[in-house]
Chain A
């Protein structure tokens, strides 16, 4: 057997290569300069360059609908779109990381290196068309995340978060891997299309495959924080440095959901034998929405509140996934899911960005009281936060509204009205806690002179930009929705 390298394969994976190279450059510079931390801004620029080049390459390869490495990787719209979201999120998070007290220290170079490689892992997972590749990508970004969290200057809680995430992540990986082994055993291959084509048949006849498939989904559900695999999320989100939380809450979910979407595209949900699982998933969606929203209801820490809210958002997406999975009008569901990923990423990272801008120490854990007077001292930041929170609530004409609209549309279209109703109930609960920061910012008596410090300009700009995007795409959601539909059209 001849080993042949096809150039086109390398061109296709070039975004990851570019990211890797640019992540190494500042590290090399640091090492060669006697292990002395360089100007963090320069490091950031390297990172930006890597991301921009990767994004450019992603755009260039998008729509090619090719596979690479004998089908191990696939470059379709879904992976391309997800990749762009990931890169965008990474760029913003990197900006935050550079400006944050807890990550911008003598090890920012390492931080950036890990983050970019994290993205490499995520891109791998997004591209993956083979369970082996999926697993490798998943592990790469997971391990990078564990270490990044541990790298926080904050001593106690970040270590706890890192360790919890690590143990539970490994546990979930092992479960997922166990599932992959069953799938491999029953399908005889780890190739995703093989599995997808075999799934309807095997699900109906083979319990081992059923078990494997469920365990695989459990692994994904863990990353997405679906109840009851959500429990790590609040603790880890709260304990991690905020830039990383924003990255985790968005990028990890985006890539995991994209993979989930690939799985549900297998039409597994339409197999009668699998219906009980679909029912279970529906219940999980309901429970996730409830646990997320209810959990956020009485939180004092803003980060923890946002963590629970992100669980709730996972529940909404799960509705879309089920709608996409059960056939009929899958495009609506899939489009809804991808749109939700997009909108959720922008809103959530923006909201975390605001929080990170207000953290003055590495171990800051902002509460609602801390927001008092923000409306007076930092009006624009408060405005941005307001827009982002309203978008998370789903008030039109923000981006978040359209996210919910598309998801609920899919649910209604697929006859999953009861899920949509639970989604609505969850949204109503969410109104309360999303409005509380607004209350604190504008309506409660401000404490004197809390926010007199200068905001970090780059992050500040980024947050304002995100808020602007939230509004702008809310007003013009159609282009995004079309892009999203195009991205999933090949998968479904």
Chain B
């Protein structure tokens, strides 16, 4: 099978799954729908694996499998092929997408078995898969944009899947609109790039951009990167556009796992890894990205500490982790960003699925205050969730440790990085450890607070298997990216396979300045910090359950600020959206109805008034008419004779 056909199959399989399930959307047969969808996803995964093997067999410097199906848009010099490229970056992405995707599909069969519209759900899921694949495989920015909007669309559909609840429908809309704001930025970024470099093709861009760099003329590139970052911020939930992601938890939990943790939200990171060659030309933009990422990470992590909804906590955690990734992008650590993307996909998908399993077991209960002590009811879930927990708080040798530490180290050592960034990253890591442990503690440990009429039960195998697989991945997923300093001391000196793999395709930033000692000590510091805060959380929520309240009371307004998510939503609604709606109403009323229309009526009224005048003059008196004539003659004659 040649690669074009493989790529086609890869793309078409979910599409066929979508059409199959979409056309029989009324069906209640979750197993058939799930089987088809999962099958489609699995086929894609197989294709991805095959492509990977093909790619590996190619020489390092030319690991590209390209195919152009047809010319999509061709106007003037703008030539956009419907083309896809599999290279070192996209292969990782498609492996994650189809791999994790398949698992989540599998999980969904069980999860959605009692739903009213399983076919619809799987159709959307497949459609999402298709769009995500287009996003990462597209060989030019516009194709990426196609997928970019497409995944947004599917996200919209899936968040609002249970649309009869207005809040859920609203969440979907919020997600789409927020994404659209980003998309607008993406568009402008594309325009700038197009008119600066004359192409939107990734390979062409990579080829052309350095030449521009020689001119030292980077203004447009900076602007382009900032606008693209707006797009990425929308998609990947960064400040100021992160607000949609917590709300997006309104969707079914597998959706949260797939879209809002593992794949879609990382698209922004992917974009910048893809455009690393451009981004490195814009150091100012990188700085903005890094700091925004860091701040997002911190902010989301702090919010995570105060939340009670299991999925919300995970959502804020996702935002926070995405912040990490952007921090990595911002400091030029593209492989690190991509690496964290991958490990995060594993453990966050795992945790979401785990939470799904919990919610499933708890009969749609999401409030962790009503859980506790679930480990004895849900052993598989508990164990796998534990893996995820360890991974995310960065305990070696779990996956998260390697990727997160890599980022922190780069933030410290990269020429684009700074101590401040590192510090924020470290604080965030501490917070992460705290809120994740809190989550574990309240859900699985301690005393059960489950209401008596709920009888938690372990999930069926279709749900368990993905958990187990992802759990394993969360443990071992990081081992392909072992940092140099650790690799050195480990037996067999495992190299940083991941970084090497990406090396040919991402822009090189000059090596960090830092000694191995420093790296070790920072590593130790952050792990220690995580450990301390994890213990602290354990202490708070398991050993002395009364303490959190006391602390919260002691913190007072600060706590309320964080608990209410810094009032960002309130700010957006109160200060931007509602005024906009009111202003629109005012515009409609005062400009359209009362001004333009009134102006029209005024013309009518004017004529009407004149008509009244004419009618008054036309008074029916013969002698008045004679007078008009006489006056007419006199006036005409006066005018004629006087000149």
Contacts and interface: CB of A to CB of B under 8 A. Distances in A.
Interface string A175-206: 10000000000000000000000000000000
Given A280-B640, A290-B610, A163 B622 contact: yes
Interface residues of B, number: 28
B628 interface: yes
Identify which of A167, A175, A298, A308 gathers the most chain B CB atoms within 10 Å of its CB.
A298
A211 interface: yes
B614 A291 contact: yes
Given A218-B633, A295-B615, A207 B622 contact: no
A276 interface: yes
Contacts of A429: 607
Interface stretch (A35-43, A83-91, A226-234): A226-234
Given A168-B625, A168-B629, A218-B629, A295 B618 contact: yes
B631 A228 contact: yes
Contacts of A274: 640
Interface string A291-306: 1001101100000000
Contacts of A290: 610
Given A163-B622, A276-B640, A215 B633 contact: yes
A164 B611 CA distance: 22
B640 A295 contact: no
Contacts of A222: 629
Contact of B641 (A164, A171, A210): A210
Interface in B598-643: 604, 607-608, 610-615, 617-618, 620, 622, 624-626, 628-629, 631-633, 636-637, 639-643
Contacts of B637: 211, 214
Nearest to A210: B640
Contacts of A231: 617-618, 624-625, 628-629
Contacts of B642: 276
A280 B634 CA distance: 12
Nearest to A167: B622
A110 interface: no
Contacts of B631: 228
A56 B315 CA distance: 97
A289 interface: no
Identify which of A163, A168, A172, A231 gathers the most chain B CB atoms within 10 Å of its CB.
A231
A298 B615 CA distance: 9
B640 A228 contact: no
B622 A294 contact: no
A214 B640 contact: yes
A232 B628 CA distance: 10
Contact of A175 (B608, B617, B633): B633
Interface string B579-615: 0000000000000000000000000100110111111
A218 B637 CA distance: 11
Nearest to B633: A218
Given A207-B641, A231-B618, A231-B624, A298 B608 contact: yes
Contacts of B636: 214, 218, 277, 280
A101 interface: no
Contacts, number: 82
A235 interface: yes
Identify which of B611, B614, B642 gathers the most chain A CB atoms within 10 Å of its CB.
B614
Interface string B108-136: 00000000000000000000000000000
Given A163-B622, A210-B640, A280-B640, A297 B607 contact: yes
A171 B629 contact: yes
A297 B608 contact: yes
A167 B629 CA distance: 12
Interface residues of A, number: 35
Contacts of A280: 636, 639-640
A290 B610 CA distance: 9
Interface string A208-250: 0011001100100010000111011011000000000000000
A228 B639 contact: no
B628 A277 contact: no
Given A276-B639, A291-B614, A218 B626 contact: no
A232 B625 contact: yes
B640 A277 contact: yes
A277 B637 CA distance: 8
Contacts of A279: 639
A168 B632 CA distance: 14
A149 B643 CA distance: 42
A232 B641 CA distance: 27
A229 B608 CA distance: 22
B170 to A, nearest CB: 42
A295 B611 contact: yes
Contacts of B632: 218, 227-229
Contacts of B622: 163-164, 167-168
Contacts of A227: 632
A298 B642 CA distance: 38
Contacts of A297: 607-608, 610-611
Interface in B397-437: none
Interface in A270-319: 274, 276-277, 279-280, 290-291, 294-295, 297-298, 308
B611 A172 contact: no
Nearest to B617: A231
Nearest to B610: A294
A202 to B, nearest CB: 14
A168 B626 contact: yes
Contacts of A295: 611, 614-615, 618
A298 B618 contact: no
A44 B396 CA distance: 117
Contacts of B624: 231
Contacts of B607: 294, 297, 429, 432
A227 B631 CA distance: 11
Contacts of A172: 629
A171 B623 CA distance: 10
B55 to A, nearest CB: 68
A428 to B, nearest CB: 9
Contact of A294 (B611, B625, B628, B633): B611
Interface in A73-125: none
Interface in B352-371: none
Interface in A46-73: none
Interface in A308-353: 308
A163 B620 CA distance: 12
Interface in B484-526: none
Interface in A131-181: 163-164, 167-168, 171-172, 175
B615 to A, nearest CB: 7
B33 to A, nearest CB: 53
Contacts of B610: 290, 294, 297
B640 A229 contact: no
24 contacts: A164-B622, A172-B629, A175-B629, A210-B641, A211-B641, A214-B633, A214-B636, A215-B633, A218-B632, A218-B633, A218-B636, A228-B632, A231-B617, A232-B625, A276-B643, A277-B639, A290-B610, A294-B610, A294-B611, A294-B613, A295-B614, A295-B615, A297-B607, A432-B607
Given A222-B629, A231-B628, 12 more contacts: A171-B629, A211-B637, A214-B633, A214-B637, A214-B640, A227-B632, A231-B617, A235-B618, A280-B639, A294-B613, A294-B614, A432-B607
Q: 8 closest Cβ contacts across the A-B interface? A: A231-B625, A228-B632, A295-B614, A297-B611, A298-B611, A276-B643, A294-B610, A228-B628
